């Protein structure tokens, strides 16, 4: 009917694919759930692009997400007004004028934090991972709809931060220095971060289902290669901001009930959660992570934006590895590895008598820290930040410095965390050494094969026959 313009995405094949219900995107990307379908995403020919570059994408937009966003913000505002000031000002410390002023101040403050992270990344000369000649193109310029989502989310984020600060100041947290321990300090910190990912993982998986994806999570995946930091992180549906803050608050409350939660560890958990959400959308392979088993890195989250059916977790990849959704990082310009040939069942059988030692042909395992082990530097920095945050809270509470013997409360936690960091360092150092893969014949205490046994018997028989016979 002339609704699809002529051009790279206006060819008859693409029109037929759209008519059959298949998703077509520019740049070779694929919508979630389309991997197993029979029709693949059409790649655009370079000559065709050069002839008509104005039609690089279809101009039609899906209105389900924006309409649901407006409805979400409307219900959110009505709910806050109907429930009183406790919903939007849970601490009760701020009046309306100071509340509005602080809301305005937080907008440039988040951009300043993002600029500071970029400055330190460039100062350390970290490798950029948003460069390459791959088919995946990033959203270079934000559009009007993106700025609308960012504007909505500034309000939702500010209310969510107020609830988190209310938990830190008035919630079930411990504030006295004498109440600090190993369980309500470092262990509660790690438990909160693991719980956050365990709860967030299934919610994120559901958001990628075909029935829910267009209404909510599709906006966040407009960016295939994140590089702006905060703007790419906050460019999502307001409903995602609501359940993101709710999951973190629920994790904090669960940790406070199970192990107790000291305010020093809780403040560090809040800042670490916020900073890592920004770092996951920066274009640097920073390697920043938390001292958790199977820590997640910013490069893992970039793979989630490029291949949406993998790497759903943000702080640790335990759930991804457990349920088989983890995908290792691959650079944008790195070619796809060749698929192994499909063998029939009889081709996989091997004769035990003629089997060769496969270890002689295997490459040595890669050197470096194993995936399950965090860096000893992450253990050190988190421990120092928790101790320093606890001291600052005590100094503010009593209005001065306590006696020096009070700081001995850190001794037990320091010993345990120091040994944990030492263990991570030992594992990393051991795995940094080159490994000499020995064959079966070079190992000790191995059973000889039938062929080796026959060769040994023949050699012994030849040795006996070659000796001259001596009469006793």
Please write the tens of the pLDDT for every residue from 83-101: 877 888 888 888 889 999 9
- Cα–Cα distance, 282 to 261 (Å, whole number): 31
The pLDDT score that the predictor gives to residue 462 is 84
Q: Which long-range contacts (CB under 8 A, 24 or more apart) does 41-50 make?
A: 42/9, 42/11, 42/13, 42/14, 42/17, 43/135, 44/8, 44/9, 45/8, 48/7, 48/8, 49/8
Return the higher-pLDDT residue of 98 and 20.
Answer: 98
The pLDDT score that the predictor gives to residue 106 is 93
Backbone angles phi, psi at 33, to 5 degrees: 90, -5
Percent of the chain with pLDDT over 70: 78
* Nearest CA-CA partner of 117 in 300, 226, 280: 280
Q: Is the pLDDT of residue 34 over 70?
A: no
454-464 pLDDT per residue, tens: 888 888 888 87
For residue 348, with 0-12 CB atoms within 10 Å meaning exposed, 13-18 middle and 19 or more buried, which class applies?
A: exposed
For residue 154, with 0-12 CB atoms within 10 Å meaning exposed, 13-18 middle and 19 or more buried, which class applies?
A: middle
Using pLDDT thresholds of 50, 70 and 90, give the confidence band for residue 80: confident
The pLDDT score that the predictor gives to residue 83 is 81
How confident is the model over 174-189, as a mean pLDDT?
A: 94
Map tokens 């600029």 to a residue.
Answer: 115
The pLDDT score that the predictor gives to residue 105 is 94
Using pLDDT thresholds of 50, 70 and 90, give the confidence band for residue 343: confident
354-411 pLDDT per residue, tens: 555 554 555 666 677 889 999 999 999 999 999 999 999 999 999 888 888 889 999 9
Q: Is the pLDDT of residue 57 over 50?
A: no
Work out the number of other CB atoms within 10 angstroms of the CB of residue 193. 25
Mean per-residue pLDDT of the chain? 82
Q: Is the pLDDT of residue 322 over 90?
A: yes
How confident is the model over 189-208, as a mean pLDDT?
A: 96
Q: Is the pLDDT of residue 137 over 50?
A: yes
**CA 61 to the chain's CA centroid:** 29
The pLDDT score that the predictor gives to residue 27 is 39
The pLDDT score that the predictor gives to residue 77 is 85
How confident is the model over 116-136, as a mean pLDDT?
A: 85
Q: Is the pLDDT of residue 235 over 80?
A: yes
Q: Is the pLDDT of residue 302 over 70?
A: yes
The pLDDT score that the predictor gives to residue 469 is 59
The pLDDT score that the predictor gives to residue 367 is 73
> pTM of the predicted model, to two decimals?
0.77
160-175 pLDDT per residue, tens: 999 999 999 998 999 9
Q: What is the CA radius of gyration of the chain?
A: 29
Q: Is the pLDDT of residue 59 over 60?
A: no
| 52-61, 217-226, 331-340, 361-370: range with highest mean pLDDT | 217-226
The pLDDT score that the predictor gives to residue 354 is 57
Q: Is the pLDDT of residue 307 over 50?
A: yes
Q: SS3 letters for the chain?
A: CCCCCCCCCCCHHHHHHHHCCCCCCHHHCCCCCCCCCCCCCCCCCHHHHHHCCCCCCCCCCCCHHHHHHHHHHHHHHHHHHHHCHHHHCCCCCCCHHHHHHHHHHHHHHHHHHHHHHHHHHHHCCCCECCCCCCCCCCCCCCCHHHHHHHHHHHHHHHHHHHHHHHHHHHCCCECCHHHCCCHHHHHHHHHHHHHHHHHHHHHHHHHCCCCCHHHCCCCHHHCCCCCCCHHHHHCCCHHHHHHHHHHHHHHHHHHHHHCCCEHHHHHHHHHHHHHHHHHCCCCECCCCCCCCCCECCHHHHHHHHHCCCCCCCCCECHHHHHHCCCCCCCCCCCCCCCCCCCCCHHHHCCCCCCCCCHHHCCCCCCCCCCCCCCCHHHHHHHHHHHHHHHHHHHHHHHCCCCCHHHHHHHHHHHHHHHHHHHHHHHHHHHHCCCCCCCCHHHCCCCCCCHHHHHHHHHHHHHHHHHCCCCCC
- Cα–Cα distance, 309 to 347 (Å, whole number): 32
Buried b (16+ CB within 10 A) or exposed e, 428-442: beeeeeeeeeeebee
Name the least confident of 72-86, 187-201, 438-452.
Answer: 438-452
The pLDDT score that the predictor gives to residue 85 is 76
Q: Which residues is 174 bridged to in the sheet?
A: 262
The pLDDT score that the predictor gives to residue 320 is 95
Q: Is the pLDDT of residue 31 over 60?
A: no
Kindly report the length of the chain: 472
For residue 295, with 0-12 CB atoms within 10 Å meaning exposed, 13-18 middle and 19 or more buried, which class applies?
A: buried
Using pLDDT thresholds of 50, 70 and 90, give the confidence band for residue 181: very high
Using pLDDT thresholds of 50, 70 and 90, give the confidence band for residue 65: confident
For residue 258, with 0-12 CB atoms within 10 Å meaning exposed, 13-18 middle and 19 or more buried, which class applies?
A: middle
Q: Is the pLDDT of residue 23 over 80?
A: no
Percent of the chain with pLDDT over 90: 54
Q: Is the pLDDT of residue 7 over 60?
A: no
Work out the number of other CB atoms within 10 angstroms of the CB of residue 82. 8
Using pLDDT thresholds of 50, 70 and 90, give the confidence band for residue 338: confident
């Amino acid at each position: 009917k002339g609704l699809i313009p002529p051009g790279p995405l206006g060819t008859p094949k693409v029109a037929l694919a759209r008519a059959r219900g298949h998703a077509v995107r520019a740049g070779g990307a694929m919508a979630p759930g389309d991997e197993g379908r029979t029709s693949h995403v059409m790649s655009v020919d370079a000559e065709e692009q050069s002839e008509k570059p104005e039609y690089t994408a279809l101009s039609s937009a899906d209105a389900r997400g924006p309409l649901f966003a407006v409805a979400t913000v409307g219900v959110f505002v009505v709910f806050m007004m109907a429930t009183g000031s406790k919903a939007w000002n849970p601490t009760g410390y701020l009046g309306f004028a100071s509340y509005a002023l602080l809301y305005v101040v937080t907008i440039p403050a988040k951009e300043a934090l993002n600029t500071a992270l970029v400055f330190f990344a460039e100062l350390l000369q970290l490798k950029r991972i948003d460069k390459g000649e791959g088919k995946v193109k990033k959203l270079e310029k934000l559009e009007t709809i993106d700025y609308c989502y960012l504007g909505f989310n500034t309000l939702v984020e500010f209310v969510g931060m107020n609830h988190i600060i209310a938990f830190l100041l008035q919630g079930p947290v411990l504030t006295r220095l004498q109440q600090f321990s190993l369980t309500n300090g470092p262990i509660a910190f790690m438990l909160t971060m693991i719980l956050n990912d365990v709860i967030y993982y299934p919610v994120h998986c559901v958001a990628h289902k075909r029935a829910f994806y267009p209404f909510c999570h599709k906006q966040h995946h407009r960016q295939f290669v994140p590089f702006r930091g905060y703007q790419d992180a906050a460019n999502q549906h307001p409903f995602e901001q609501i359940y993101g803050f709710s999951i973190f608050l629920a994790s904090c409350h669960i940790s406070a009930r199970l192990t107790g939660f000291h305010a020093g560890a809780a403040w560090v958990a809040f800042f670490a959660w916020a900073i890592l959400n920004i770092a996951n959308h920066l274009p640097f392979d920073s390697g920043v992570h938390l001292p958790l088993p199977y820590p997640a890195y910013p490069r893992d989250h970039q793979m989630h934006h490029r291949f949406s059916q993998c790497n759903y977790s943000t702080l640790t990849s335990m759930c991804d590895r457990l349920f088989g959704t983890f995908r290792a990082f691959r650079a944008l310009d790195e070619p796809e590895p060749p698929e192994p040939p499909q063998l029939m069942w009889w081709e996989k059988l091997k004769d035990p008598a003629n089997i060769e030692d496969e270890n002689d042909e295997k490459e040595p395992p890669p050197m470096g820290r194993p995936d399950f082990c965090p860096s000893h530097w992450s253990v050190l920095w988190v421990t120092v930040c928790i101790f320093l945050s606890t001291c600052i809270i005590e100094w503010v509470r009593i209005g001065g410095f306590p006696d020096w013997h009070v700081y001995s409360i850190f001794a037990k936690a320091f010993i345990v965390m120091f040994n944990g960091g030492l263990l991570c360092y030992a594992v990393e150092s051991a795995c940094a050494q080159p490994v000499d893969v020995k064959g079966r014949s070079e190992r000790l205490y191995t059973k000889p094969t039938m062929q080796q046994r026959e060769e040994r018997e023949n050699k012994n028989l030849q040795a006996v026959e070659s000796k001259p016979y001596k009469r006793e």
